[in-house]
A = this chain, B = another copy of it.
């Protein structure tokens, strides 16, 4: 035990000499998860992967916010019940606890408020909260786990969304190369990547893409200098506020793990980072980046990929004879 403590002390000393002082930048490192209700998060993980929360029994939270793929589906707009084409690009669930609000238009205040939406959206999971609860209540292992976690005999949508949100809070991605650099490790980035970050900062990208999530903290108009020709009918924030001035205002997406969260923009119209950087420069900043500048910014953006959440694929408790069966092909 003594030997271990000494080794730990030596390693801390080693750390403090190898790292320079942390940098003071408009982007801050992602903090590791603290203050999690682990029991809720473990239950929430099961619910996140459980397609029985959908009418078809085929679509789970993880279908469109796939944790193997940066917390997105990597499709322009998502596939909903009965292969309906969604109106908007699925935003990543990674680091979403850092967002000022949830959904592109911010219509949900937090992760808990968000989690109930897709379950009951006829274009997404197409179930109802009542049916989802009926399914869960028919499965003894779930009933027991809810009872243990929440100390109540009855399951309600409130506990379901609370558990899913708690799991989602664990989905942060610390330790990207950029964060290592922010924390003082000079050689974590190449000179080209540092130059890309400087250009990103000096061009004004950080005006919106800042903070630990490199975005997610404000709503901004898509198309400031030039109008954006969207392939989606979504009008953004005005749908929530009712104000005409908020038309085409969308939540600024996080750029964390952006290499994994293609395609880009609320309509998923940009397939590549090169295209996204070019469009953002022209439409938001009135700036045409040269190919070399564009490549440098893209090189920087790729340093924002952090440690992906690591956990066992959950095993779900089986349905019972009393469980309502999925209706994937029901006519209405």
* A208 interface contact, C-beta 8 A: no
Question: 0/1 per residue, A214-240, Cβ < 8 Å to B?
Answer: 000000000000000000000000000
Q: Which of A30-86 contact B (CB under 8 A)?
A: 49-52, 56-58, 63, 66-70, 73-76, 79, 82-83, 85
* A148 interface contact, C-beta 8 A: no
Copies in the complex: 2
Query: What residues of B have a CB within 8 angstroms of the CB of A74 in the complex?
Result: 52, 57, 319, 326
Contact A79 B310 (CB under 8 A): no
Size class of the A contact interface (CB-based, 8 Å): 35 or more
Query: What residues of B have a CB within 8 angstroms of the CB of A310 in the complex?
Result: 312-313
Q: A69-B316, A308-B315, A315-B308 are in contact. Are A321 and B274 (CB under 8 A)?
A: yes
Contact B58 A79 (CB under 8 A): yes
Interface of chain A: mostly helix, strand, loop or mixed? loop
A272, A274, A311, most chain B CB atoms within 10 A: A272
Instruction: Considering the complex, give the chain B residue whose CB is closest to the CB of A73.
Output: B58
Contact A311 B314 (CB under 8 A): no
Contact A75 B57 (CB under 8 A): yes
Complex-state Cα separation, A316 to B70, whole angstroms: 9
Supplied contacts A51-B73, A57-B73, A68-B313, 16 more A-B pairs, CB within 8 Å: A49-B68, A51-B66, A51-B69, A58-B63, A67-B315, A69-B316, A74-B319, A75-B328, A76-B328, A79-B328, A85-B329, A259-B318, A274-B321, A308-B315, A312-B313, A313-B313
